[in-house]
Amino acid sequence: MRSMSFPNSIILNNGVKMPILGLGTYKMEPELTKRSVLDALSLGYRHIDTASFYRNEAEVGEAIRDSSINRDDIFITTKVWNDEQGYEETKSAFQRSLELLKIDYVDLYLIHWPMPSRLETWRALESIYEEGMVRAIGVSNFMPLHLEEILEHGSIIPSVNQVEMHPFLQRNEVLDQCKESHIAIEASSPLARGKRLNDPYIKEVATKNDLTPAQVMIAWCLQRNVAAIPKTTSKVHMKENFDSLYISLSQEDIAILDKLDQNYRTTTWNPYDMK
């Protein structure tokens, strides 16, 4: 693995650069995944997020091989699912992901949810990292109580915590804790799965700045120095989302968006219920 230099990146706590904007592939049908990843890469995306649970790792890997882009110039994230957790189980799951992706290493490997065996799972991630098979390790859907366990009992500080985050679910307590611990935040579902794109305040900011509502929501994340991985299979929307990298919302606009927090989750799973 050579050191990569990505523009528009977050520097993780181990020095690895992670592109601040990526393509999410959650619930992306396998037959659409390859085309969508190829479209994203052609538009300039260099960060692709998948997971064993998504059942599309093979198609992500196929798209990367079929693109004209060097593997080392693409940042690939995948995750260990809930029924794969535990020390040996996680190490086996990681190998399965490598085999499906048909790559030699992963850029970022995450614990998908904080299951009861999360400390053993984290120990497996530390081992995988120390073996040089992954460039960075982290967690997903971890709330402060879960992160505190990892910080107390682990030997490596997570590089990333991926959580649902958007103007309607701002997770300020998670953001503050991660900043204090030098853990990067990555927003999954930064568009609230499209369910709030017609919100009048989002549309007000979008119209004022000649933007799309999706661009407003993504730019809000990026200006918090939060990475975002919006999912779409539309090349037109991919381009619009990618252009969010070059948008700067005013402090007045940010103030409007900051008032929208409603603890609005798009999933029925609540990480705070995970003990």
Cα separation of 264 and 160, whole Å?
22
Cα separation of 235 and 37, whole Å?
10
Cα separation of 258 and 261, whole Å?
7
The single residue of 26, 45, 54, 105 carrying the catalytic annotation is 54
Strands 23-24 and 9-11: unpaired
Q: Phi, psi (5° rounding) for residue 23?
A: -105, 120
54 is catalytic: yes
Residue 17: CA count within 13 A, CB half-sphere: 13
Contact 220, 180 (CB under 8 A): no
> Which residues are catalytic, by number?
54
